[in-house]
Structure 1
Amino acid sequence: MSQDFSFAVHAADGAARKGEIITPRGTIRTPAFMPVGTAATVKAMFPQDVRATGADILLGNVYHLMLRPGAERVARLGGLHEFMRWPFPILTDSGGFQVMSLAKLRKLDESGVTFQSHIDGSRHHLSPERSMEIQHLLGSDIQMQFDECVRLPCSDEEAERAMRLSLRWAERSRKAFHEEKGRAVFGIVQGGANKALRVESARALSDMDFHGLAVGGLAVGEPQAVMLDMLDTTVPHLPQNKPRYLMGVGAPDDIVEAVARGIDMFDCVMPTRAGRHGLAYTRFGKINIKNSRHAEDARSLDPASICPAARDYSRAYLHHLVKAGEILGMMLLTQANVAYYQELMAGLRNAISEGRLIDFIAETRAQWADGEKASL
């Protein structure tokens, strides 16, 4: 195991945990939400503004970075942290999901995936070994195994085929991981919506000496009830002493439900994508700032927010910026959304420490409902 990477649980409330992941580049407070910096940038935000929202860690992506600007180039320029001016922890997704969802003319076999770039049609081969090599070149602090993610719904046969292939790829990824001080590698549980497959995957990965385990293949088209059922099935079979990461999740309501089930880490493009399209996430629920009812609304998104974008600008001004297509509107709404997600995570951590998570979730949901009702 790599030295100077550790995880400790400091408080629990039911299945929910409050803890810390320690890395040489900084401490990650859990439960944690990782803003998505897919191509070495959190879209529409300066790195220092991302940090000011309370983010401890960002996510980057192998698929996008290997295509542009290239992992070898990033390495020559000092690594991903130096390249994007983010000196704090970075987790890199292995690229498996993007290969399946974005690449053209892909061909999958035991060795990996051969595909054409969605950017220029150039041909590439991504294997467990190459994915780990790219993540090593990027210099990320937490690296993910290469896996195959199938969309739901799918047949049990398809889910089993992908799960077993992902387990074989997990063994190869673990072997190819460059053991360096402070670096970590996580395995990824697959199995579609089949409980037996999820349990088998979780148990097999738990025996492979990963530093943490992720639950993948959810939030890919299935109802929330299915996602939560898979978490209820899977989490009890994950190690208690290692961080648990639910990949690609998600909406605030999904996050609070998953935290209550023992998940420690999350990522999703939702807050940044919504911000670029005129939708704000607040403690009062979602606000569609494009709606004409905001055209003369002098209130801010949230006068009590610690985020200047949410606190100091009127809804009328934000409405004007969005309707005019001004870049500043995208920037302010993105910053407000990322800040709200971090405020939500801080609230969840405090509630776990105080043993009042159930009450906090109920109060949060009631405030969302009241706020969205008032917006109708």
Structure 2
Amino acid sequence: MNFKIEHTDNASDARAGLLTTDHGEIQTPIFMPVGTCGSVKGVHFSELRNQINAQIILGNTYHLYLRPGLEILRAAGGLHGFNGWEKPILTDSGGFQVFSLTGIRKLTEQGCEFRSHIDGSKHIFTPENVMDTERVIGADIMMALDECAPGKSDYQYAKNSMALTHRWLDRCIKRFNETQPLYGYQQTLFPIVQGCTYSDLRRESAKYISDKGAEGNAIGGLAVGEPTEVMYEMIEVVNEILPKEKPRYLMGVGTPQNILEGIERGVDMFDCVMPTRNGRNAMLFTYNGTMNMRNKKWENDFSPIDENGCEVDKVYSKAYLHHLFKAQELLALQIGSIHNLAFYLRLVKDARQHIIAGDFTSWKRSVIDQLGVRI
């Protein structure tokens, strides 16, 4: 993997870069649609390519490990071979999903024991077998196993959790270095900074992570219950330490406003289920604000969903999409998901263009307040 910073913003830490993998190039800043089970819910890959303009998608290690399982994935030639996506893929470690299974998981030094949400069967994730699993899935970018501490954890819990994440990282790196890619192309491993909302822990973790010399680094454990301003503060603290010449990935974030604030603070990569989840629930993001397509105000509005948007935005009217949601038609969920993902990719592309043009900060200031308005 190679990362090159092409432009920087004079008034902030925003930057435009080019991330190159064996499955293609990724222009940053970038938003990555979440394909939990090997698919982006309700969206065909042709739509991801041609309307949404996705450059990289995510797969979820926990879900893919349970179903379809490693035997099927290996036989298919990895996730690329299984689902037909020819561009880059990133996999999380499954840690966040496992640690969300409150009551049916047990955390130890060895790893995390858990019961499947599908059939209740017992499993364990360790740093070693997670690396093996991500090798089988075959993502271009693999994430290290970490513990995602709750946003309101007390200091001692957060410190212990961070230390465990660091010990697990060392084991991940060792296993990664002992193994080889399975499908003829290279993979890379990103460590994850933890430390909850405590500045000294975040600095300690960022330093520990940076010293590993990985090709990219991730910031985890944010947008998990802490105030938004605290999240922004933690991003600033971490990015002061993470190497500037390496890509920075903010995991699981977030709203359009969150993404622009992250870009301004030097983040290059984002992912979140919000655009598809909200799209399936009739909440559409636009530069003019968020539209609830179930509202009666759209019933007689025959204007395009978004005149400046993707194909579905121009083909279908607000009134028609309102009707589809009211009638509980599956097409509504698909249109909402496509629109929101296309908007997120358009947002980061516009941010990139303004970084290159040298006016990112003033542009961001002019649009960010309107993004959060309900219309």
The normalised TM-score by structure 1 is 0.95
1:283 alignment partner, one of 260, 269, 287: 287
Alignment of 1:224-263 (within 5 A): 224-263=228-267
SS at match of 1:102: coil
Deviation at 1:103, TM superposition (A): 6.3
Contact 1:91 1:143 in 2 (8 A): yes
CA distance in 2, matches of 1:169, 1:354: 42
Instruction: State the one-letter code of the partner of 1:224.
Output: T
Q: Alignment partner for residue 14 of structure 2, among 2, 16, 19?
A: 16
Aligned AA (2:3):
F
2:64 equivalent to 1:61: no
Ranges in structure 2 where 5+ consecutive residues have no aligned partner: none
Q: Distance in 2 between matches of 1:366 and 1:73?
A: 47
Q: Name structure 1 gaps, 5 residues minimum.
A: none
Verify the 8 A CA contact 1:103 1:118 in the aligned structure 2: no
1:201 paired with 2:211, answer no
Give deviations 1:96-122, integer Å, cap 9, x for gaps.
Answer: 000011365211111100110111101
Percent sequence identity is 44
Q: Which amino acid aligns with 1:334?
A: S
User: Secondary structure of the equivalent of 1:237?
Assistant: coil
SS of equivalent to 1:19: strand
> Paired residue for 2:278, among 261, 274, 277?
274
SS at match of 1:7: strand
- Counterpart CA distance in 2 for 1:360 and 1:93 is 32
Evaluate the alpha carbon distance shift between residue 106 and residue 366 of structure 1 in structure 2; reply closer, same or farther with a 3 A threshold: closer
> Residues 129 and 311 from structure 1, CA distance in 2 versus in 1: closer, same or farther, beyond 3 angstroms?
same
SS at match of 1:202: helix
Choose the corresponding residue for 1:308, options 308, 311, 314: 311
Structure 1's 64 and 104: CA in aligned 2 closer, same or farther, altered over 3 A? farther
- The amino acid that maps onto 2:17 is G
Give the AA of the match of 1:136.
R
Match of 2:325 among 310, 322, 325: 322
Instruction: Name the structure 2 match of 1:356.
Output: 359
Cα separation, 1, equivalents of 2:155 and 2:70: 36
CA shift digits 1:112-133 (9 cap, x unpaired): 0011011110100100111111
Q: Please provide the CA RMSD for this pair.
A: 1.2
- What is the aligned length? 367
Classify 1:86/1:104 alpha carbon distance in 2 versus 1 (closer, same or farther; 3 Å). Answer: farther
Conserved 8 A contact 2:256-2:371: no
- Could you tell me which amino acid in structure 2 is paired with residue 328 of structure 1? L
2:335 maps to which of 328, 332, 335: 332
Runs of 4+ in 1 over 2 A off after TM superposition: 178-182, 365-369
Seen in structure 2, the aligned counterparts of structure 1 residues 74 and 104 have a Cα distance that, compared at 3 Å, is farther
Q: CA shift at 1:287, angstroms? A: 0.4
Of 12, 25, 28 in structure 1, the residue corresponding to residue 26 of structure 2 is 28
